[in-house]
Amino acid sequence: MSDPSELSVGIDGRISSVPGFPGSIKDEISDFIVEEIPDPSITRSEDGKYGYLMIKLTDWDTNKFLSRLAKELHISRKRITYAGTKDKRGITVQYFCVNSRFSPDEIRISDAEVLEYFRSDHFLKLGDLVGNRFTIRISSEGERENDIREIYASIMRAGGFPNFFGMQRFGSMRRNTHKIGKYIVQGDYRKAVETYIYDPEFDTEDFRVRFGETHDAAEALKDFPLRLTFERSILGYIQESGNFEGAFSAFPKNLGMLFVHAYQSYIFNRILSERHKAMGDLNEAVPGDIAYAVDQYFNPVDREEIKVNRYNTDKINRLIGEDRLRLTIPLIGYESRMTDNFQGEIERKIMEEEKVLFPQFRIGGYPELSSKGDRRIISAKPLDFEYTGDNTMKFSLGRGIYATSFLREFLKQD
């Protein structure tokens, strides 16, 4: 039986032939630990232009921590970059790059420990990491070592797990970022803003419900708690201008992009679910497919598209079996095109159901939110897997690959 919450973000199906067991993750913050594996090309220089911080964060949302760090250093948050966004509930070790001269002693933020400081001439961009190392405990009755080992073996026999975008991609509490993104892509900015402020599917707080009934930004500003900084910024903009279309200018650029990217991720999940349902084996290439060469972490090597045809199918399937290639499907954008043959039929079906076209991802009012599209591998494997007792496992994944998409294979569906 499919999980309704997963279906709502496009996720359906599991690869393991071994049934999962009852359990949960993140019951305790310490149950989920993730440490970035930095890009080795980031070299250190004593007089480097940028200050790098390796910081251990406990239960911090990446965007909120960026704002707090910028305030602590008395600089614009635009001068701070990072390699990867992490989920709030857990312990994370992340790298931040600051375009400023400062002393790490200036940083006194609760639940944030500076582990290392150095300077470099390398400008840190999103994705500038090899991958992430995870230590995760599953809460379940009794010792589950045998179950965990059997399911892990089943995943590896299948050639890896479906590379879904995990639930956290769509919001930590209100899983609706893809809905907001769809409204932006469709040009319905009013609906996008109203859904961000109040979504009846998730919101029960009185102050949100009142806004849903009145749509009065001035009154809502009196009600919304100060901690909801982004909501208050949006409401303030609407109160002053009455302009919903311009309201997203009140967001930091990376947060605005999150909505459009979430919608791309939702479409990707739907296409992957449909492919899995139709094919079963996610590592079987058929003519019309497009593959990428990958490294040991399943990161694309050069993003050169390798097209599958009837003459090279056997060779490509052999290279997939050797973990040198992986099949891909599109992250839809304005430069995307349909894949040929069987895979293209799946993509066309989902796009028609979504009632969305490639050119709509060029966002007229917000060019910075536009996305030309990309491709993403459809399956991946964990590296350096260890079972350490107490239902705890350690493993590494390439950048952008979600631990929760691996872990869901272990957990029984309701």
Catalytic residue IDs? 87
| Contact call for residues 277 and 12 (beta carbons, < 8 A) | yes
Give buried/exposed letters for 34-54 (b at 16+ CB in 10 A, else e): bbbbbbeebeeeeeeebbbbb
Q: What whole-number distance in Å separates Cα of residue 95 and Cα of residue 129?
A: 9
Token digits of residue 152: 């892990």
What count of other Cβ atoms lies within 10 Å of the Cβ of residue 135? 18
Distance in angstroms between the alpha carbons of the first and the last residue of the chain: 7
411 phi/psi in degrees, rounded to 5? -100, 135
The strand ranges marked E within 340-382 are: 374-377, 379-380
Nearest to residue 160, comparing CAs of 277, 272, 15? Answer: 15
| Contact call for residues 53 and 117 (beta carbons, < 8 A) | yes
Q: What whole-number distance in Å separates Cα of residue 64 and Cα of residue 226?
A: 13
Scan for tokens 């200036």, then name that residue. 106
Q: What whole-number distance in Å separates Cα of residue 414 and Cα of residue 411?
A: 9
